[in-house]
Structure formats: C-alpha cells, structure tokens
Amino acid sequence: MKIELANVASVYSGKDGKCCCGCAGKHTYASAHREWASQNRGYKVEDEDVSDRTVKLIVNKMNKLFEGGATPDYVEQDFVSVVTGARLYVAYFVKKTP
C-alpha cells in the first residue's frame, strides 16, 4: 500500500484505543484542500489546523510503516489507518463528488 500525498485532505495522529475526535490526538489539514475540508466537516478549518509539513510527515511515516511490512488497520474509500506501538495514524482522502 502507498498513500499518495496529493489525495490526502487531512491526517490524524493520536493515542491508540481512543476515539479520533481530537481529544487524544490532533487533526491536521493540507492547505490545498482547506476549502473542501471546511465544507466537508461543516465548520471552518482555521489557520492553526493547517500544516502541509505535518501532513507530509505523517503520510511519509505511514508509507514507511507499510513498506516495512505493517498492515493497515482499516482501508476504506475515504481513509486508511495504521497503529504502531501506542500511536494511531490516519490519512483522510478527499472525497470525489460526482
């Protein structure tokens, strides 16, 4: 499995075994998909929520885990996740509209 950075709207990094609402981790958004993400989540993505560097860092980390033999925990149409140690990583994809 290889995640294409251009298709990633946001990432999440948080404690494994917890929900992904943001109470045990952080969602970070790609600047290229900021407007789409604001509409998708129902409220504005603020400046402090956007970091292309963090998105790239987490996507690269996930890809290295997959290259090293890690198995994704979930592979869905709109996201993929993997756990390593006590950490959960999720890459959320831009949903294509018909």
Which tokens hold the place of 13? 């990094």
Question: What is the mean pLDDT of the segment spanning 11-25?
Answer: 91
The pLDDT of residue 96 is above 70: no
Which pLDDT band holds residue 2 (cuts at 50, 70, 90)?
very high
Residue 55, domain member (yes or no): yes
Given this model, what pLDDT does residue 1 score? Answer: 87
Q: Is residue 85 part of a domain?
A: yes
User: In which band, very low, low, confident or very high, does the pLDDT at 15 lie, cut at 50, 70 and 90?
Assistant: very high
Q: How many domains does the chain have?
A: 1
Q: Average pLDDT for residues 45-52, to the nearest whole number? A: 96
Quick one: how far is CA 40 from the chain centroid? 14
What is the value of pTM for the model shown? 0.91
Residue 98 has pLDDT above 60, yes or no: no
Dihedral, 84, 85, 91, 92 alpha carbons, nearest 10: 130
Residue 61 is assigned to a structural domain of this protein = yes
What mean pLDDT, rounded, does the chain reach? 92
Q: Which domain holds residue 73?
A: 5-92
Residue 97, domain member (yes or no): no
Q: Is 4 helix (H, G, I), strand (E, B) or coil?
A: coil
* 49 pLDDT tier (thresholds 50, 70, 90): very high
